[in-house]
Structures are given as C-alpha cells and as structure tokens.
Amino acid sequence: QVQLVESGGGLVQAGGSLRLSCAVSGSIVSLYNMGWYRQPPGKQRELVAAMISGVTTNYADSAKGRFTISRDNAKNTVYLQMNSLKPEDTAVYYCNARRLMSSREYWGQGTQVTVSS
C-alpha cells in the first residue's frame, strides 16, 4: 500500500523559510510524477510545484523564484523548499503522487503552513 506522509510545516514569520518533506512508502518515488498542492483558507486547492518524470519541474507563478521541488531517491522522499515566505502562502500543503503511465494517484494527509506578517 502506497502512503505519503508530509512533515515540516509550522509557523514562520514573513521572509522566513521552511522545508516540507514527503516520505513515500510502499513503492519507490522514481515511479511517480510528484506534486505539491496547497489550499489556503476559503480557497480552492492549487498546484504549487510539480516534478515530471523526475527531471522536469514546473511552478505556479506565485512560487517561481521562491520555491524549489526536489527528490532524494535514496531516501524515497520529495521536498519543497520554501523561501521568502509571504502571508499569502498560508495554507494546508499536500503531497501528491501520480503513477507513471497509469491513473493511480495518492495524497498525503497535509501539513499546515502559517506565515505571519
């Protein structure tokens, strides 16, 4: 059974940094396209960053230049490094995995990120 477990969220002041982790169990991360999504209070879930086939990365306009998605195959973990955080980054952040060449999809439980002004 594939499971995704996020960690690293918390409270940080504007301008600070956080690194979110998504540990994958039950499979190997190299078999998946990975993504980080977030859902701010009162808003819909949105894609923040994605890693396609372990090579190509894509970012939402709001995240470009500040956020970086990366993968450590040895640890079977995906990261989201978030720098220069803004209050509007406050949201529940979710890790997503989509199996290559299939419709299988998995979600983590989410981790809260709160950025104070």
In this predicted model, what pLDDT tens digit does every residue of 28-73 receive, in sequence order? Answer: 999 999 999 999 999 999 999 999 988 899 999 999 999 999 999 9
Beta-carbon-side half-sphere exposure of residue 4 (alpha carbons within 13 Å) = 25
Residue for token pair 């949201």: 91
Rounded Cα gap, residues 59 and 35, in angstroms: 10
Task: Please report the pLDDT score of residue 54 as a whole number.
Answer: 85
Tokens of 41: 């209070």
CA 73 to chain CA centroid, nearest Å = 16
pLDDT digits (tens, 9 = 90+) for 87-115: 999 999 999 999 999 989 999 999 999 99
> Once rounded to an integer, what is the mean pLDDT over residues 8-37?
97
Task: Please report the pLDDT score of residue 57 as a whole number.
Answer: 97
